[in-house]
A and B are shown apart, each in its own frame.
Chain A
Amino acid sequence: MNYPGKGLVEGLAITARNFVGSYFYKDRLTTVQYPEERVQTPENSRTFPFLVFDESPDKPRCTACKICEVECPPKCIYIVMDRDDKGKPLQRPKVFDIDISVCMQCQICVEVCPFESIKMDNDYEKSRYGRFNDLVQRLPDLLKSNAYYNKIKPAEAAEVDAKLKAEAEAKAAKKAAAAAAAAKATAVPPAGSVT
């Protein structure tokens, strides 16, 4: 049936249905009451990078190789390697700063890291009151445990753990083989040359 003003009346009916329905059906409400309830972010969502450590924060995976610092397109990473009293490099960062006001969340640092050390976080509550120093993430802010990494991104972390484990085993096996070979070399001296 078609009558003058049909569209107007149908529109009013729809809004009335929304008005009443939103009081009775929770699933109609599309907004989230933010501080009380949060949206579950997808596993592969990412915000800013963080550094993974294995057992304790003073032993990070990062070796301060500075590949990420060099590769970072907006140059938001600043690294200084730690050195002991004699000036010998200790293969761990002394300073590791990421300016998250500059970071563009491109994940390139993660792609280039050879030590599976820097990973993308999914913590989106990074807002601060200050505009400058508050937005620079220092080493203590950045270091997070492997358990945390496993919690936020289970599939990816499991893959990384398996890879690291395989590498460690291969390394151990190689070391053992090398040791065995060395032992063999020392145990059986030039005697072999006789035959």
Chain B
Amino acid sequence: METIYQILHTTFANVPAWAVQIAAFLIPIAFIFGVYPAIFALTTLVERKALGRIQNRYGPNRVGIFGILQPLADGLKILLKEDIVPRVADKFTHFLAPVLIVIPGLLVYLVVPVAPGMVAVDLKIGVLFALAVGTMSVIALFMAGWASRNKFSVLGAVRAVAQVVSYEVPTVMAGVAVIMAAGTLSTLTIVQRQGGGLLNISNWYVFRPWGLVGFALFIIGGLAESARCPFDLPEAESELIGGYHTEYSGFKFALFQMGEYLAGMAMAGVTVTLFLGGYMGPGSGPGLAGGLISMLWFFVKLAGMIGLNIWIRGTWPRLRVDQLMGFAWKVLLPLALVNIVAVGFWHFLTPRPLAWIITTGWLVIWFLVLTKCNASAKLEKREYRYV
């Protein structure tokens, strides 16, 4: 915001300062409200097309050329649908939940920098804010499930809460590794720390042994927190009809979809910021040209992360509830703790090659130990006496 204020103030010198201040407020808001929902609309189409191709079919290709108007048609259709509220539902909460669910997803974008200085609010506790606000959507989910007064909704909501509470721990621990390495909680500074090096690429945290592990942990945690495949237990269609949004129809249902996608994209944006160097890339830097290239880099990386999410959704089956919990507490959490120790090694061991060898060795050994300990028991061959 400060950077936008500076730019506007120097460009329009004769405009009063308060007007510039208001404009500097409104521009990031307009950007967040305009760009990310547009990306959401595009993502729904791309996701359906990509899932179709993964299953060897075309996907939507009727509305407009290549089905490009499909999101518009979907939106129109869903607006025309009847809005049904169950007779025994808690009407106020039932109405409030879909309104609230969109907000956390949008709030996270406040601290995601898209270009040098271009962050809506450069909070000193940016990472903490993103992680804390991003999980707030689970409150709206639980409100939806509880207010519907439907057993499937409540089951979905309970699953959502259990899942998010469990996965929040390893996700934050993976973020702690980055915070330790960067020495700051400000997202803008974290991105700046990842600049320089070879082509502005080699210093991305994902190209560190601890960063790679943290990246994997963060992707898994992000998928789980935004309740996307393979962690879509809260809405598991085959088990719970629709989970928490069973009793929602019409535009409220669309808001749930939107909130979910926005939260998923926000987690992707935070992942890009923390591990993939945010807007850093060949050619990014201050100034207009550098700023535009930076913005391009950020959105290319965001698109890559969304693509990875879609690919995973098209491939992996849903986890069982006990597998979900076991995976979080027995694999991800120990690995995240080990990862924090690895950052400590990285920080204090002076010759860089030695740090590389020791952190990699430490992480590999622990990864093998954890997978060995958590390997599913081999069943003995049964002998049937009475066949």
Q: Which residues of A contact B (CB under 8 A)?
A: 4, 8, 11-12, 14-16, 18-19, 21-23, 28-31, 33
Q: Does B6 contact A (CB under 8 A)?
A: no
Bound: A15/B51 CA distance, A: 9
With a CB–CB cut-off of 8 A, which chain B residues contact A29?
Answer: 56-58
**B-chain residues with CB within 8 Å of residue A14 when the two chains form the complex:** 315
Query: Which one of B57, B58, B314, B367 contacts A15 once the chains associate, using CB atoms below 8 Å?
Result: B314
- In the complex, A11 Cα to B314 Cα: how many Å? 10
Interface residues on B, range: 10 to 19
Report the separation of the CA atoms of residues A33 and B58 in the bound assembly, to the nearest whole angstrom.
Answer: 9
What are the residues of chain A within 8 A of B315 when measuring CB–CB?
8, 11-12, 14-15
Asked if B72 CB lies within 8 Å of chain A CBs, one says no
Q: Which residues does B use to contact A, with CB under 8 Å?
A: 50, 53-58, 311-312, 314-316, 367-368, 371
| Min CB gap B306→A, angstroms | 15
* Chain B, residue nearest A8 (CB): B316
Bound form: Cα–Cα A118–B315 in Å: 51
Inter-subunit contact B316/A11 (CB<8 Å) = yes
Chain A neighbourhood of B311, CB < 8 A: 12, 15-16, 19
Bound CA–CA A23/B57 (angstroms): 10
In the complex, which residues of chain A have a beta carbon less than 8 angstroms from the beta carbon of B56?
18, 21-22, 28-30
Q: Are A18 and B58 in contact (CB under 8 A)?
A: no
Q: Judging by beta carbons under 8 Å apart, are B57 and A31 in contact? A: yes
Beyond contacts A4-B371, A12-B315: 10 other A-B pairs, Cβ-Cβ < 8 A, are: A4-B367, A8-B316, A11-B316, A15-B54, A15-B315, A18-B56, A19-B311, A21-B56, A22-B53, A22-B56
For A18, the chain B residues whose CB sits under 8 A away are 53-56
CB nearest to A14 among chain B residues: B315
Closest A-chain residue to B230, C-beta based? A8
Q: Could you tell me if B58 and A19 are in contact, using CB atoms closer than 8 angstroms?
A: no
The distance in angstroms between the C-alpha atoms of A30 and B52, with both chains bound, is 11
Report the nearest B residue to A31, measured CB to CB.
Answer: B57
**Once the chains bind, are A30 and B58 in contact (CB under 8 Å)?**
no
- Residues on B with beta carbons closer than 8 Å to the beta carbon of A22: 53, 56-57
CA distance in complex: A16, B368 (Å)? 27
Q: In the docked arrangement, what's the CA distance between A18 and B59, Å?
A: 13
Distance, CA A37 to CA B56, complexed state (A): 17
Task: Determine the chain B residues whose CB is within 8 A of the CB of A12 once the complex forms.
Answer: 311-312, 315
Distance (Å) between the CB of A54 and the closest chain B CB?
Answer: 43
Rounded to whole angstroms, the CA-CA distance of A19 and B311 in the bound complex is 9
The docked-state distance in angstroms from the alpha carbon of A111 to that of B368 is 71
- Residues in B whose Cβ lies below 8 Å from that of A33: 58
A residues in contact with B55, CB < 8 Å = 18
CB distance from A27 to the nearest CB of B (A): 10
- Which 5 A-B pairs have CB atoms at the shortest separation, nearest pair first? A4-B371, A31-B57, A15-B315, A15-B54, A19-B53
For residue A15, which residues in chain B have a CB less than 8 angstroms away from its CB?
54, 311, 314-315
